[in-house]
A and B are shown apart, each in its own frame.
Chain A
Amino acid sequence: MTKIIIFLIGIVLIGFIAWWFFGQHQVQAEQAVVNDDQQNVDIEVKGGYSPERVVLKKGVPATLKFKRTDASTCLDHVIFSDLGIDQKLPQGQVKEVKIDTTKPGVYDWACSMNMFHGQVIVK
């Protein structure tokens, strides 16, 4: 009897993991607010990035403010490979990353181990 229960628990867990990680889930996105010809977005770095998708207005100087509260070494750098940016993120400090918004496009960012991803959309 216990064996059947454990078996069922195992199957349910596997199903849950598959649904939780592989299912389609809404990505947290944020449209930057333009103030005084300048747009800023605060990004919390904790087990990933919140928000994970940032929408910027074309032509307005933009700054992403990353703050890492997570101790994981995975997240200690944020890398925008298309933009040539590699910003160190010391824990607990706010680090600003300026984004060139002259050209519309989609720019991905990732942690230094390429496990967590985020996206800037300029339009």
Chain B
Amino acid sequence: MKITMRFWTALVLSLPMLAEMVLHPFTGWMLPGGEWTILILTTLVMLISAGPFISSAWASFKKHHANMDTLVALGTLTAYIYSIYAMFKHLPVFFESAAFVITFVLLGQVLEAKMRSNASDAIGKLANLQAKDALVKRAGKFVSVPIAEVVAGDLIQVKPGQKVPVDGVVVSGISSVDESMVTGESMPAGKKPGDQVVGATINQNGTFEFKAQKVGRDTMLAQIVAIVKKAQNSHAPIQNLTDRVADIFVPTVLIIAIATFLVWFLLLGKSAGTALVFAVSVLVIACPCALGLATPTALMVGTGLGAKKGILIKNGEVLEAANNLNTIVFDKTGTITAGHPQVTDVVGDKHVLAVAASLEKLSEHPLASAVLQAAKKSQVHLRAVSNFRAIEGQGVTGTIDGKEAFAGSPASRAAGTISDELTKQIATFEQEAKTVVVVGLAGKIIGLVAIQDVPKKNSSKAIAQLKAAGLKTVMLTGDNAQVAHAIAQQVGIDEVIAGVLPTGKAAAIQKLQQTDKVAFVGDGINDAPALTQADVGIAMGSGTDVAIDAGGIVLVKNDLMDVVRALRLSRKTFNRIKLNLFWAFIYNVLGIPIAAGLFAGIGLVLSPELAGLAMAFSSLSVVISSVLLGKAKI
């Protein structure tokens, strides 16, 4: 029988007894049939509602195990059997205690099961985000096919308001896509040919076509679901204690209950009935389920909440480690900075950028794209270039409007004459760790373009908040010290470790770990060894390139503020676990002595019914406390 049915049965059968209990002191009303009616009602409760507790307790007893069913079964059976004996001996009976305890325990379990399914809902919601079908080009026409039939390489059309079915790259059309369900980013992302789209995101205005790249279990959503699932079932080291407690807990309680009976009956000379009430109360109140639920429910809610915001915490161990950090190390390029150089300053008139861009358009230099982008942004006209030539290690030259033009290193002699003012300017830029491109025309330098990999817009805000949270911030980079220090100063980083080869990053982390607990934040692609070495590896992704394997925490969005949020979430979840454990422990530590009658001298006693109610609500309160974590702001 289902647990809800067992509960309702117990409740309905207990109600007449409850009515008598409430009404009798005022009106003297009693159930027709007296004790016999109560015996029958309670027997039905024991058979129908308590039966499964008893059979489960017996089955585990045979395996040398004991669980909460053992306590409930023994407690209620003791009350029931003693009452039958007492009835024939014309002693006071307490059948209703057994019936009420069963009702309350079942009530607790019904509510708890409901809350638990609420808590684990996040994952179900995530998995349901996926589109059910897709408009796929088959035989020259777009037809709707079930998502399971989409294969990599398919051309898929997405209309406004539709969900993007799988991961891929846009081939035609322009639109904006709401990606909040996967990345947690509330701003819609613009999409044009060449951009990545992610399955389960919602297309907003335009129609576009894209080529499917990842389908089924390979899509980002599927991988996120897999990570969250794993995280929700993981262990936190703090749990090890409760694991051990749970093993010895129930048998210990049984022993305490017997001792309680012996003390009351033999030492204090009370009646067998009174002594039994105390023993039964001890059995009933001491359910260790609150302890068992404290960690898993909080983990479930915490990791689910993170997933909604694009923060994937891989397991409970990481969560616990994230709470003991005192140093956070950042990779520079792509993590603190945008990872691609941008033009920061242009000295001279608008010819400067036009000449530079016209030449660089033909070049393959990595800085060329920065110049072109700047030219496009300020809408300068590109000129025709003839006799284009790249001078190895110096720059590029060509003829524009019949004049010799040059763009390249300030050290190059091909640049031409330079004014004192520009020479001074070059020195300033170089001090700021900017790369300078000089632009020459007809043998004379007409201006400068300064280029730098600039910090992302949230970098300094995030670093300031991490410092405020008491963390030491360190930048780790392969760049030279001057460039590194310039960026560090801009974003407010405490310490710089520069000139580290990619292979040396893990060693640098290891060195820091001699004194500190270290987190490493990197983009995950070439930082895997450092991410693994650190106490907490935080891998940042961008779009579909989430480095899922590297790092204990994976950030879907490439935004440093998510590092702050991830640490905040870890802290909140871990604190909730500690709070849950505290209440679960305190409850048993205080509950058992009260139930045993230790405070009977001051009038503080627990009847078995109240003990049953308290027991039901101890685990329920732990689950509710975890569910409330889901409402936390991060």
A residues near B (Cβ < 8 Å) are: 3, 6-7, 10, 13-14, 17-18, 20-23, 25, 28, 46-48, 50, 52, 70-75, 79-81, 84-86, 112-116
Contacts and interface: CB of A to CB of B under 8 A. Distances in A.
A74 B229 CA distance: 20
A28 B60 CA distance: 13
Contact of A113 (B65, B255, B293): B293
Interface string B97-123: 000000000000100110010000000
14 contacts: A6-B266, A20-B61, A23-B64, A46-B56, A47-B58, A47-B60, A72-B56, A73-B112, A74-B289, A84-B233, A113-B293, A114-B243, A115-B289, A115-B292
Contacts of A18: 251, 255
B288 A84 contact: no
Interface of B: 1, 3, 6, 52-53, 55-69, 109, 112-113, 116, 226, 229-235, 239, 242-243, 246, 248, 250-251, 254-255, 258-259, 261-262, 265-266, 288-289, 292-293, 296
A10 B262 contact: yes
Among B56, B58, B239, chain A packs the most CB atoms within 10 A around the CB of B56
A86 B232 contact: yes
Contacts, number: 119
Contacts of A47: 55-63, 65, 67
Given A47-B61, A84-B226, A116-B60, A21 B66 contact: yes
A84 B234 contact: yes
Contact of B296 (A71, A85, A112): A112
Nearest to B66: A21
Contact of B234 (A17, A48, A81): A81
Given A10-B262, A116-B67, A73 B113 contact: yes
Contacts of B69: 72, 74
Contacts of B234: 81, 84
A51 B223 CA distance: 33
A115 B63 contact: no
A18 B243 CA distance: 19
Contact of A114 (B53, B58, B246, B251): B246
Contacts of A20: 61, 64, 251
Contacts of A52: 63
A48 B233 contact: no
Given A10-B261, A10-B262, A114-B296, A74 B233 contact: no
Contacts of A84: 226, 229-231, 233-234
Contacts of A14: 255, 258-259
Contacts of A72: 52-53, 56, 67, 69
A113 B61 CA distance: 18
Nearest to B70: A47
Contacts of A23: 64
Contacts of A113: 67-68, 246, 289, 292-293
Contacts of B56: 46-47, 70-72, 74-75
Nearest to A114: B292
A68 to B, nearest CB: 10
A86 B229 CA distance: 8
Given A17-B258, A28-B63, A71-B3, 14 more contacts: A7-B262, A10-B258, A14-B258, A21-B64, A47-B55, A47-B58, A71-B52, A72-B53, A80-B233, A81-B234, A112-B116, A113-B292, A114-B239, A116-B65
Contacts of B53: 71-72
Contacts of A81: 233-235
A18 B255 CA distance: 8
A67 to B, nearest CB: 13
B229 A48 contact: no
B258 A79 contact: no
Contact of B68 (A10, A74, A86): A74
A43 to B, nearest CB: 13
A77 to B, nearest CB: 9
Given A114-B243, A115-B246, A71 B1 contact: yes
A55 to B, nearest CB: 18
